[in-house]
Amino acid sequence: MPEAGFIVARVSFLVIAASMLGVAMLAAPAAGQTSTCSSSSKCFFAVSVSPSNPAAGASTSFAFTIKNEASPQQLGSVQISAPAGFAITGAPGATSFTSSSALFLDLNLASGASTTLTVNATVSCNLSTSTYQWGIEAKQSNDFNGTGNDFQLDPNSADNLKGTLTGCTFTPCPLKTQCAASASSATTSGTVTTSSPLPSGDSIVTGMESGTGSGNSSFNFSCGTTYTPVSDVFSFAVFDASGVAQPTPLTVTLRIDKSLVNSSGHPGASSWEICYASTTQFNALPGTAQQNVTIGGSPGYFTGLLPDCSSTQGTPCVQARNKNNAGDVIVTFLAFGDPYGHG
Range of 29-43, 101-115, 249-263 with top mean pLDDT? 101-115
Please check the confidence at residue 284 and state whether its pLDDT lies above 60.
yes
Residues 63-82 pLDDT 10s = 999 999 999 999 999 999 99
In Å, what is the CA distance from 118 to each residue of 19, 58, 65, 291?
21, 16, 9, 33
Q: Is 267 helix (H, G, I), strand (E, B) or coil?
A: coil
In this prediction, what percent of the chain has a pLDDT beyond 90? Answer: 39
Please check the confidence at residue 317 and state whether its pLDDT lies above 80.
yes
Higher pLDDT, residue 83 or 341: 83
Record the pTM. Answer: 0.61
Higher pLDDT, residue 107 or 303: 107
| Cβ-contact 157, 94 below 8 angstroms | no
Higher pLDDT, residue 28 or 150: 150
Of 236, 238, 90, the closest CA to residue 167 belongs to 236
